[in-house]
Amino acid sequence: MASDHRNVSIERVTNGAYIARNVRGGQITVGSSDGPEFTPVELLLAAIGGCTAVDVDTVTSRRAEPQAFVVDVDAEKVRDAGGNHLTDIVVTFHITFPEGEGGDAARTVLPDIVRKSHDRLCSVGRTVELGTPIGTRVMT
């Protein structure tokens, strides 16, 4: 099995505010629910939706440019004996294509690519559903 290592770095700005950076120079602010920054839970939901949106867009837009393309990701945050976690994660696609042959072709492949993304292509969703263990280290 081939390895394709991924990495992000999280740097504290102030109490409750952080910057996440990738190796390509991209960055996004992360924070508590007090400000406009995305919370870690919102970033997880965005990662799930974004991952599958890329898969779906890549395949359908080869056939027709969408007129509208929105992916909503909803979940319930619970606190129970298992600790804090999300349940009932649902990804909803709101996509419209133009009338005509290209739009018809895009609408035809849409359910199949959504299913393939969920079942095997989207590494974020697959990781969440498979339940990959997370290791921790402390280095001072």
Hey, is 9 helix, strand or coil? Answer: strand
pLDDT value for 2: 65
Q: Exposed (0-12), middle (13-18) or buried (19+): which is 49, by Cβ within 10 Å?
A: buried
C-alpha 48: how far from its chain's center? Answer: 2
Can you give the pLDDT at residue 126?
Answer: 96
What are the chain's domains? Answer: 1-38 (no CATH), 39-130 (3.30.300.20)
**Cα(67)–Cα(98) distance, integer angstroms:** 6
Of 73, 39, 48, the closest CA to residue 128 belongs to: 48
Q: What is the pLDDT of residue 104?
A: 98
Residue type, position 23, single letter = V
If one counts every other C-beta atom within 10 angstroms of the C-beta of residue 11, the result is 10
Question: What is the mean pLDDT for each group of 10 consecutive residues in the chain (140 residues)?
Answer: 86 93 96 87 97 98 98 97 95 98 98 98 96 94
pTM: 0.91
Structure tokens at 47: 């990662």
- Residue 3: the pLDDT is 72
Looking at 6-140, which runs of residues are DSSP E strands? Answer: 8-14, 17-22, 27-31, 68-80, 83-96
The tokens for 69 are 């393309």
DSSP β-bridge partners for residue 11: 19
Q: Which backbone phi and psi does 92 adopt, to 5 degrees?
A: -115, 125
Query: What local confidence, expressed as pLDDT, does residue 35 receive?
Result: 82
Identify which of 107, 113, 78 has the alpha carbon closest to the alpha carbon of residue 95: 107
